[in-house]
Amino acid sequence: MKNFKKTFRYAGLSLVLLLGAAILSGWLGQEKIISLFVQEANRYLRTPVQVGRMEVSVLAEFPRVAIRLHHVVVRGSLPQDTTALARVRTLYCAFDAWDIVAGRYRIRSLALEDGAIQVRYDAQGQPNYRIFRPDSTQAATKPLAFDLEAIRLERVGILYHHRQQQHRYSLQAHAVQASLTVTDAQVSIRAEGRTRIEAIRLGADNYFRAKEVVLTTRLEVNRTAQTLTIQPSVVRVETAAYDLAGRIGYGGPAIDWNLSLNGQHADLQSVLALLPPRLTRQLSKYRSRGDVYFRGTVRSVAAGKNPQIGVQFGCRDASFYHPGYRESVEHVFLTGTFSNGARRTARTTSFTLQQLRGALQGRPFSGNLRYENLLDPTVRLNLRADLDVARVLRFFPVAAVRAGSGRAQLAVQFAGNLRQFRARPATAAIRSGGELTLRGVSLTLRDYTQPLTGLQGSFLLRRNDVAITNFTGRMGRSDFRLNGFFKNALGWLLLPHQQLLVEADVESRLLDLDQLLSAPAPNRAAGPTAATGTGRAAGYAFEVSPNLALDLNATVRRVRFRRLRGQELHGTVRLRQQVISTPGLSVAAAGGTTTLHGTLDARQPDRLQARTTMTCTQLPLDSLFYVFENFGQDFLTARHLRGTLTAQAESDMYFDRHLTPLTDQLEAEIKATVRDGELNNFAPLQKLSMVAGKEQLRHLRFAQLTNSIYIQGRTVYVPEMEIRSNVRTASVLRVTGTHTFDQEMDYHLSIPLLPGLLRRPAFGGQVATGPALLLAVQGTEDNFRVSLDRRREQTARRPVAEANGRRMGPPPPPANSAALPGAAENAPVAAPKKLFEVKKPEQKPAQPRPDQYFDF
């Protein structure tokens, strides 16, 4: 034991003495070593090297002595090249301490820290790394020579860029160590360490993006043949391990590749990293568990050509999931391939998935996919699946759908050229077919207020169209049943700006337009939000998609809109290029029957134009005024009127996207007949007590009233009409005038003063009117007066409609310069004498309600 301790002490003392001698020798010979290094380096190099500072260090690479160079810049060999071949913060050139004692200086290792190396080829294929003189030799008698055994890289970025071949490789060496065996004909390298591959770009595609790699490799460089042989090596990417082997020839005008890569225990991210982003962008956030594998080869075939790339991948009993969702696809089996083809271009590239099968929450699916030609794609797909809609949407969200539930069964096949399909979806040479069956499906859409619930039905795909069979469901409170066709359904579903044509028979038990047209909550916040007692929606939003066309035969048992409660709606509705039209639509409402035909032009969402002709038969007046909310005025309301109306109205109406009428652009002509009419408790009539008793005026009855009414410029024009009433002293009344949407009235009444029996007969069998009481009702609803009218015209002029019967011209407003028949033609002009005046207490002007149709 004592001998061992003594031996150990002597060995330690010898080591200390030897270390001290080495340090002393290095310090004493520092200037000589640096001088020799600079002299020999300049002998070997053909490009300038800039060094900030040089020194000899014993401890930096202990037990070796090192020459430490700071802030080294090595210029490339390309003429007029401004990019350095290498920039290194610290470079160590180390040699053994024994060589110092023997007087030999052999550089045994190199170490680079915190730098960047850029190997580049210009457009003519010339490299920038030819920095050594071709005639330099390593004679054994030289005092300083390179005899490298190891290289170490720490935090060094490496870039390879070949402009002619459009190759670019970028990586960051965190800590890589390599040992070298150098002979005259061959260099053997063993390397291991950690690095990060930023990207390997071939052409326009990036492979192996942003991957942390642990490398263990053996390389053989044949100087004579100028080839690099990669012996079986292991590249570990996260949890996956890849076996890399092959050969790279660098002696010719282009690099010759012949590499193979086999992966085991990989995951989805590792496989997707090998493929271009254009194929994997939608899947990049998904992860996997289980056995995922692949094999790949890279071979170059000619100078200036892309290498040939082939990848085979697959999985066995794997699971795929998204970190942000709580659903996963399980028990997945598939095999796949990726190849850039015989010509190694995007046009010959193909991607294939075969024998795909798996389960989502126990519901199976299977299919096959082949995608060929990235520039002019051709797709072959077949897929079968039994799906739980809620789980599918959680695993693979769809932006237009917020939530869903129910069950769907899908079987679909598609084969064809996508370019031809995009150009001519209806006539492209594609083969497609399949069937989709919905069972109790509910969907909440992002841009639609009302949810779709209870969706049931079958959809049969044939080429580009879908046949619909008993498609039923609900939209809010409304329900529907469709049978017909979705024309160009595949084009509309898969391509942007494609039109969907729906040809179908539609049946509904209830159509609640208040709810269907209601604006989404954010839009409602801008306006009034209180709902009326009728349950009316607070605001509307009406827009028509330019990509939708309709040809519907509608049968609706009940329809609701504001106060309207209609029944038995029948008719045809068509939609083309955002113009809705109907040749005939009938509905029973308000105790009568109404028919409508016309168009609604929605091409300008904030200026919807409705051009309609509406006919109603035996419609109770009080019900009509109630349904239309007294047409937005309180002067003549439903409680004042009785009788039945038969009328025909032609109108041009304009609305904004919230269905608020633009009354200044409204034009209408209404031909109306009222039978068995009553005017009850009408305030202006109560002021005519000099003509009849108040009780008679409180219940004014007339057998029939026929007249035409015109609307233009926010003014209602009433041509002179004759009313035969139950008031004996005023059995015949003539009324004409105007009423504006701002509630300004200008009515003129003519009441005969003689009973009918006392009127003198006139020529032609007509009865002369005789003397009459001329009155004017003028003012507003809240402030009007009744006065004598001495300035009325002898005759009233009737407006003339335009030749097309659509543009109606209003009659001129009644003038006050002539009397009614029976008055003196040359009566002196005098201001009308005010008989009485009704004036309500002053109050603020009424604000227009958002639910008004017409503001008069």
- Return d(Cα 84, Cα 725) in angstroms, integer: 108
Residue 94 in contact with residue 37, Cβ under 8 Å?
no
Digit-coded pLDDT (tens) for 678-720: 777 776 666 666 666 667 667 777 777 788 888 888 888 888 8
- Return d(Cα 548, Cα 420) in angstroms, integer: 22
Let me know if residue 333 belongs to a domain: no
Please, how many CA atoms are within 13 Å of residue 752, restricted to the half-sphere of its CB? 24
Residue type, 102: A
203's tokens: 């052409």
DSSP state of 4: H
Average pLDDT of the residues in 110-138: 78
| pLDDT for 146 beyond 80 | no
Let me know if residue 796 belongs to a domain: yes
- Return d(Cα 293, Cα 265) in angstroms, integer: 6
Give the residue, 63 or 456, on which the prediction is more confident: 456
Which of 32-46, 445-459, 511-525, 828-842 holds the top average pLDDT?
445-459
Let me know if residue 159 belongs to a domain: no
At 559, is the pLDDT very low, low, confident or very high (cuts 50, 70, 90)? very high
Let me know if residue 403 belongs to a domain: no
At 730, is the pLDDT very low, low, confident or very high (cuts 50, 70, 90)? low
Residue 514 in contact with residue 561, Cβ under 8 Å?
yes
| pLDDT for 434 beyond 70 | yes
Q: What is the pLDDT of residue 280?
A: 73
Let me know if residue 574 belongs to a domain: no
Digit-coded pLDDT (tens) for 378-396: 899 999 999 999 888 888 7
Digit-coded pLDDT (tens) for 628-676: 666 655 666 667 778 888 888 888 989 898 888 888 888 888 888 888 8
Q: What are phi and psi of 685, to 5 degrees?
A: -65, -30
Q: What is the pLDDT of residue 33?
A: 67
Q: What are phi and psi of 842, to 5 degrees?
A: -65, 135
Give the residue, 759 or 493, on which the prediction is more confident: 493
DSSP 428-497: S--EEEEEEEEEEEEEEETT-SSPEEEEEEEEEEETTEEEEEEEEEEETTEEEEEEEEEETHHHHHHSTT
The overall average pLDDT reported for the chain is 76
Residue 614 in contact with residue 586, Cβ under 8 Å?
no
| pLDDT for 13 beyond 60 | no
Let me know if residue 183 belongs to a domain: no
Residue 90 in contact with residue 114, Cβ under 8 Å?
yes
Helix, strand, or coil here: 220? strand
DSSP state of 833: P
Q: What is the pLDDT of residue 748?
A: 84
Q: Residue 670: which domain range?
A: 641-759+766-856
Let me know if residue 96 belongs to a domain: no
Digit-coded pLDDT (tens) for 768-815: 456 777 888 888 877 878 788 766 544 433 343 343 344 444 444 443
Name 410's bridge partners. 385, 436
Digit-coded pLDDT (tens) for 278-307: 667 767 777 788 888 888 888 876 666 677
- Return d(Cα 196, Cα 170) in angstroms, integer: 9
Residue 424 in contact with residue 407, Cβ under 8 Å?
no
Let me know if residue 610 belongs to a domain: no
Give the CA distances from residue 790 to residues 444, 718, 752, 779, 832, in Å, rounded to whole numbers and listed in that order.
Answer: 68, 20, 15, 17, 6
In total, how many domains does the chain have?
Answer: 1
Which of 101-105, 140-144, 591-595, 838-842 holds the top average pLDDT?
591-595
